[in-house]
Amino acid sequence: MRHSRSISDLRADVAENCRALLMLAEREGLSVLVTETVRDAEYQRMLAEKGYAAKGAVTPSFHAEHAGLAFDICKNEAGHEYDDPAFFIRVGEIGKMLGFSWGGDWGSFPDRPHFQWDAGAAYTSAMIRAKRYPPPMPRYEEEEMTQQQFDAMMENYLKRLAQQTPAGWSAEARAWAEKNGLIAGDEAGNKQYRSFLTREQMAVLMQRYDAMQHGK
């Protein structure tokens, strides 16, 4: 039984655009983890038997080792890999912009983690199983970004970063900081633990710490 999560196991053109998807998502503060690329027939049968693949889909097609035309993803956050619909919708939009078909659009068996290259739905699973493959994907090439576009991208990235859930390992330190008034959050009470720290914010933290030490 074999299933791979290596992007290098995908067809070269698909692998290149898969990496472009990860890069574009990361720019928006979306941490994407590729969970699977290719699989063999034995693994596909196991997925179908457990209900993780469409009923009757016991032979791999786009995920097949001989094809390398599909990959699956999740949110790279422990404990929240699949429970954020907005995450998958946005990554799906990015994937479709690159030319991939997104499983979240499927009516009969929605599969939000899934992306495949089928040349705009021109190639079916039956065609792939018969080893009739789509032509190479158009290569993603970035357009020159204006300052306005860059500013908008960074603003969106920082907003998404601020909304991310802090890691569990910092829980004790966060509780201590909040209890002692070092971290108060913004007007809405958002602590923004995953955001960057400016010099202004550092100065405020140092002042609050000094006040705490001297009982002010």
Task: List, in sequence order, every residue forming a beta bridge with 75; answer none if it has no partner.
Answer: 32
CATH code at 7-129:
3.30.1380.10
Question: With 70 as the cut, is the pLDDT of residue 52 above it?
Answer: no
Backbone Cα Rg of the chain: 22
Q: Model pTM?
A: 0.66
CA proximity to 92, closest of 137, 138, 32: 32
pLDDT range class, residue 205, cuts 50, 70, 90? confident
Task: List, in sequence order, every residue forming a beta bridge with 114; answer none if it has no partner.
Answer: 72
pLDDT digits (tens, 9 = 90+) for 77-120: 999 999 999 999 999 999 999 999 999 999 888 999 999 999 99
Per domain, the residue ranges of the chain are 7-129, 166-213
Question: With 70 as the cut, is the pLDDT of residue 56 above it?
Answer: no
131 or 214: which leads in pLDDT: 131
Report the distance separating Cα 100 and Cα 97, nearest Å.
7
CA torsion angle 194 25 16 40 (round to 10)? 90
pLDDT, mean over the chain: 88
Question: With 80 as the cut, is the pLDDT of residue 10 above it?
Answer: yes
Report the distance separating Cα 123 and Cα 206, nearest Å.
61
Cβ neighbours of 63 (radius 10 Å): 27
**pLDDT score for 57:** 62
